[in-house]
Amino acid sequence: MRSAFLRTLTELAEQDDRINLIVGDLGFGVVERFAERFPRRFVNAGVAEQNMTGIAAGMARCGKIVFTYSLGNFPTLRCLEQIRNDVCYHNANVKIVSVGGGFAYGALGASHHATEDVAIMRALPRMTVIAPGDTIEAKYATRALVDCEGPAYLRLGRSGEPIVHTEGCDFAVGKAIRVLEGGDVTLISSGTMLHAAVQAAQALVRDGVRARVLSMHTIKPLDMEAIFSAAKETSAIFTIEEHSIVGGLGSAVAEVLAESSDRRVVFKRIGIPPEFSSVTGSQEFLKDHFLLSPGGISQAVADFLGVFPSDKRMAASCH
């Protein structure tokens, strides 16, 4: 995703000289093309994310469209005060980009596990929050954010994410993409969990469960119409995210359902427990550990619906 983002940003900068990029002393190997092509619009702020954000806010107030770029929690949590007071309070046209959401930097431990960022950024006034599902969505999201006035947060995977959309997709900020049709249950995915959600839906078909899959790439503003349709047309909704189940996609959808007059739909959040991980390892290892693999997701859905025989459900609960 990061390559798709930077490639698209460079293409857009060719057409719009307001676009600037500020990095926190990383990304070399992928940012060189932008830096070489636009040396006066590229700044390496060093390991100083608070300064990076303050610089971006000042430039935005001068009419620039400024993207800040760093990994994991560093462009969000480390400089949260600057984001809140400098960017959001002044409605500055700053786009905060984090590469490596969730467990992308899993082997580096809890300090690099970006598992609360969506919750925190979603709570900030005036902030748009986008977590694309694959490289195609990342490309369209980058384009959309250039045209979207005001603060925004773009949460990207690190690299090697499977492509779900084989062609272009109908991407619009605040509008979910229906990836698979299904009338029994709905799987709502955000970020890099989209491919796993699709695979889980395909596995559920073998158990007689037809799952609709929505890519909820925009977590704020949320596509409430898509949620209401799912609640009306399917019997259960499951949210799937590589993020804490507190405050992220699951909480956002739960808030919508709780305030709806029609609450007949069954609802469950699938994600990371609100605690620091006691294990470290690769992203795939940690996703397997927290049952965020396609098999873990389909098992959780089936168990919740009571699809499997009791002996299989018992075996799953002992996993």
Instruction: Report the CATH number at residue 249.
Output: 3.40.50.920
- pLDDT value for 7: 95
- 107 and 17 housed in the same domain: yes
Provide the domain count of the chain. 2
Each residue of 239-275: pLDDT tens digit?
999 999 999 999 999 999 999 887 679 999 999 999 9
Q: Are residues 254 and 288 in the same domain?
A: yes
Residues 194 and 229 in one domain: yes
- pLDDT score recorded for residue 300: 95
Sheet with strand 211-215: strands edge to edge: 177-180, 211-215, 185-189, 236-244, 266-272
In a domain? residue 86: yes
pLDDT at 158: 85
Are 12 and 150 part of one and the same domain?
yes
Domain housing 35: 2-156
251 lies in the same domain as 306:
yes
Report how far residue 6's alpha carbon sits from residue 140's, in angstroms, rounded to the nearest whole number: 12
- Choose one of 89, 121, 156: the last residue of a domain: 156
List the CATH number of the domain containing 128: 3.40.50.970
Question: Is 272 in the same domain as 187?
Answer: yes
Contact 6, 33 (CB under 8 A): yes
207 & 146 share domain: no
7, 140: one domain = yes
The verdict on 151 and 183 lying in the same domain is no
- Report if residue 144 sits inside a domain: yes
pLDDT reported for residue 263: 66
Same domain (yes/no): 43, 143: yes
pLDDT at residue number 160 = 81
**Same domain? 66 vs 108:** yes
pLDDT confidence of residue 166: 83
Q: In this structure, is residue 166 part of a structural domain? A: no
Ranges of the chain whose pLDDT falls below 50:
309-319
Evaluate whether residue 56 is within a structural domain.
yes
Calculate the CA 125 to chain-centre distance.
18
- Residue 164 inside a domain? The answer is no
Length of the chain: 319
Q: Among 124, 156, 188, where does a domain finish?
A: 156
Single out the residue in 103, 127, 156 at which a domain terminates.
Answer: 156
Position 261 scores a pLDDT of: 80
Q: Is residue 171 part of a domain?
A: no
Same domain, 140 and 251: no
| pLDDT value for 312 | 40
Say which residue the tokens 């991980």 belong to: 277
Q: For residue 163, is it within any domain? A: no
Determine, yes or no, domain membership for 162. no
First to last CA, the chain: 32
